Amino acid sequence: MPIAALVGTQWGDEGKGKITDVIAAKAEVVARYQGGNNAGHTVVVDNVTYKLHLIPSGILYPGKICVIGNGVVVDPKVLVEEMRYLHDRGISTQNLFISDKAHVIMPYHKVLDKLEEDARRLKIGTTGRGIGPAYVDKYMRSGIRIGDLVNPTRFRSRLADFLPMKNRILREIYGHPGFDPDQIFREYSAYAQEFRDRVADTSLLVDEARRAGKNILCEGAQGTFLDIDHGTYPFVTSSNSSAGGVAAGLGVGPNHISSVIGVVKAYSTRVGEGPFPTELKDAVGDLIRERGREYGTTTGRPRRCGWFDAVMIRYAVRINGLTGLAVTLLDVLDAFESIKVCVGYDYRGQRLDSFPTDLEILQECRPIFAELPGWQRDISGATGWDDLPYQAQHYLNFISEEVGCPLQMISVGPRRDQTIVLSDVF
């Protein structure tokens, strides 16, 4: 039965949480496959706003199985806090499972994230959550996994293996006092105690659900242009946030993934450093930011705003094998008399239609815009295609044709009911 993947097509914050929540109504399993609590997914249910960083957005429905897959890096403190946050709001986390293979974000990862960022000549603007350093240790084979954390003997032994070297780096390079193994052991064992009964072979769990014919939704974090391989490196995160990460990050066969939904804002935003060809550093960008409330869910930073970039989304269609687009925040464009869409780049007088892989070329690219008429009407109450003004329909059809991917869902507000579903995922 179907495994559907949902990915961000830009630089994150496309509204993946909201779209996951809408699709999750018909899913039995919702799984995260990469990233960690650098993500901030906002879901509005019955006028209550939930901000999730680590736990899949499917948790807001009773009874759904939620999985934190092996490809995720887990901060145990954040996990426990998020479980409490949900509990305090009457949301059960009974059906949450965490892969024993997921790597743990240790306190030294968080400290190193900040120290390394400070020391960097070219800032990335990381979320400071320890994501990069945790993935470094995973690939260095110096990581501590959830399966180690919940086993006291193994946890002690892993700490003895790895902490001395971390402390040397912290002390000798950064002048940081370092960490005491006993203190970490006590604190982190206490966190582990709160979720040890949910630690599982989540690949097996997902496969059993698949064999039983259940619908499985994989919730991506970040976005295609933050992908470690395919994003605007080095201004990226440290995981494969594009659809290629699903199979490895959950332990599912890629042949079982039957659809890939690309969540895309009706314009563009970016938080953190790095190139952004359609960025608007003027009153138009400010108006998008204010109307879209474009301030980071995780760090509260103002997001950089710009027009829709079809060159980028064409690339996202290719990298992810997108089967449908979920266009979000369309209502933010209600205020504009005319709306621009970047359809190509001008690089030293030469037109580029595909996204350049060389950042130096990208930095010199100037957007070539098409200008479309705005609708200047409130569309936040639209529930069907026919409720949209013809200019909005034209805009949507235009971007769909430009990027070469069919429209699947349109979002006109943060709530569940502010969604137009053109074709079902399940």
Residue ranges in contact with ligand GDP by CB under 6 A:
8, 12-18, 39-42, 44, 293, 297, 328-329, 331-332, 411-414
> CA 371 to CA 177: how far, in whole Å?
57
Continuous segment of H or E residues that includes residue 285: helix 283-291
> CA 374 to CA 372: how far, in whole Å?
6
> CA 5 to CA 32: how far, in whole Å?
10
Select 13 or 402, whichever has its Cβ closest to ligand IMO.
Answer: 13
Give the sign of the dihedral formed by CA 170, CA 171, CA 175, CA 179: positive
137 as an active site residue: the answer is: no
Residues lying near Mg ion in the complex (CB under 5 A): 13, 40, 297
Select 98 or 412, whichever has its Cβ closest to ligand GDP.
Answer: 412
Burial class (CB in 10 A: 0-12, 13-18, 19+), 174: middle
Select 297 or 400, whichever has its Cβ closest to Mg ion.
Answer: 297
Q: Does 126 bind ligand IMO (CB under 6 A)?
A: yes
Pair 320, 7: CB distance under 8 Å? yes
- List 13, 113, 137, 227, catalytic entry: 13
Indicate which of Mg ion, ligand GDP, ligand IMO, none lies near residue 412 (CB less than 5 to 8 Å, by partner kind): ligand GDP
CA distances from 230 to 47, 279, 319, 346 (A): 36, 20, 8, 21
Pair 334, 392: CB distance under 8 Å? no
Could you count the other beta carbons within 10 Å of the beta carbon of residue 122? 8
Indicate which of ligand IMO, Mg ion, ligand GDP, none lies near residue 124 (CB less than 5 to 8 Å, by partner kind): ligand IMO
In degrees to the nearest 10, what's the CA dihedral of 410, 413, 418, 421?
10
- List 21, 41, 109, 148, catalytic entry: 41
Select 17 or 133, whichever has its Cβ closest to ligand GDP.
Answer: 17
> CA 76 to CA 82: how far, in whole Å?
10
87 as an active site residue: the answer is: no
Q: Does 131 bind ligand IMO (CB under 6 A)?
A: yes
Q: Which residue is nearest to ligand IMO (CB)?
A: 272
Indicate which of ligand GDP, ligand IMO, Mg ion, none lies near residue 50 (CB less than 5 to 8 Å, by partner kind): none
Q: Does 249 bind ligand IMO (CB under 6 A)?
A: no
Region from 104-112, 127-135, 393-401, 416-424 binding ligand IMO, contact rule CB under 6 A: 127-135
Q: What's the maximum distance between 2 C-alpha atoms anywhere in the chain?
A: 65
Contact letters (x/-) for ligand IMO, 295-334, by CB under 6 A? Answer: --x-------------------------------------
- Which residues form the interface with ligand IMO (CB under 6 A)? 8, 11-13, 38-41, 124-127, 129, 131-132, 221-223, 226, 237-238, 271-272, 297
Q: Annotated catalytic sites, by residue?
A: 13, 41
